[in-house]
Amino acid sequence: MSANKEAAPALEVHNLTATYDRQPVLWDIDFSLPEGSLAGILGPNGSGKTTLLRNIMGLMQPDSGYVRLLGQDLAKVRAQVSYVPQRESVDWNFPVSVSEVVAMGRYGPGKLLRRLRRQDRDIIEEAMERTGILPLAHRHISQLSGGQQQRVFIARALAQQAQIYLMDEPFVGVDAATEEAILNLLGEMKNRGHTVIMVHHDLQTAQDFFDQAVLLQTRLVAAGPVETVLNKENLQQAYGGRLNVLSKVGQLAAEKQFPLREKAFRERKKPAHGESD
């Protein structure tokens, strides 16, 4: 059985090239991620992180190459793949309540008009409880804070009961308590055998939390276990001169010259087999 899982990774990206207005954003990207991973897509601004996620989700078509999820085209496994977009890409004034947004996770393709069953409602309630938004169930989404809105999206993804969760910078605009709660929840999802792949920008939490990493700079710099990907040579190739600034920030944080919200995560081990350094 394990051999079959190795033969069909959670995600395979083969020779993918993508352009905007004929300008290459991703060039010949090729990697795979195993099932049950907590994986970060990392790189400086403009390196193609969100573009890669959009190609994986079929929101844009590559100029060449292809993507496989669970060994198949997205169309065949769409029900097993959940997507959490960037929060700023959503119209939060749309007249809908928290529970109604979460309930969208129970409607598959072609099933928007079906009546929710008791089992569906139990799943929706559990998803809201796990993300800490059950008391907000009847509140309009425009009345929520940024962190609460992000929890709503993750609750909707949980309600879908997918196998793979794709997230585009889920920690942007959220407070430290929400970030910690989400990280704990994602670790729990991994322990249940789910695969979580997210665009992320913070190298410190990436080193402490992810077990797999994909490092981009238009081209693929490296992909694989986080401890082998996030080494000095790869980071220098991806970030160049900007790495010196990042290193200075890390040094100042270590010397406690200013607090970092990620401190709690540096002090604990990753939820899976890897150790933080």
Each residue's pLDDT, cut to its tens digit, for the chain (277 residues) gives: 444 445 469 999 999 999 988 888 999 999 999 999 999 999 999 999 999 999 999 999 999 999 999 999 999 999 999 999 887 777 777 889 999 999 999 986 555 556 889 999 999 999 999 999 999 999 999 999 888 988 999 999 999 999 999 999 988 878 888 888 888 889 899 999 999 999 998 888 888 889 999 999 999 999 999 999 999 899 999 998 666 555 544 444 344 443 344 344 444 445 444 433 3
31 found inside a domain: no
Per-residue pLDDT, 87: 75
151 found inside a domain: yes
Per-residue pLDDT, 262: 39
The CATH code of the domain that includes 145 is: 3.40.50.300
CA dist., res. 31 & res. 174, Å (int): 30
Residue 171's CB is within 10 A of a number of other CB atoms, namely: 22
Q: Nearest CA to 116 among 99, 131, 96?
A: 99
Which structural domain, as residue segments, surrounds residue 150?
A: 36-58+76-217+227-266
Q: How many domains does the chain have?
A: 1
Residue 115's CB is within 10 A of a number of other CB atoms, namely: 5
Per-residue pLDDT, 269: 44
Inter-residue contact 10 to 72 (CB < 8 Å): no
Per-residue pLDDT, 112: 55
Per-residue pLDDT, 7: 43
42 found inside a domain: yes
Inter-residue contact 209 to 179 (CB < 8 Å): no
10 found inside a domain: no
Per-residue pLDDT, 24: 86
28 found inside a domain: no
272 found inside a domain: no
Inter-residue contact 82 to 105 (CB < 8 Å): yes
CA dist., res. 231 & res. 273, Å (int): 19
Which own/partner pairs from 20-29 qualify as long-range (CB within 8 Å, at least 24 positions apart)? 20/51, 24/218, 25/51, 25/218, 26/51, 26/52, 26/55, 26/62, 26/216, 26/218, 26/219, 27/218, 27/219, 28/65, 28/219, 28/220, 29/65, 29/216, 29/219, 29/220
- Is the Cα torsion angle 210, 171, 81, 78 positive or negative in sign? negative
Tokens matching residue 139: 């509140």
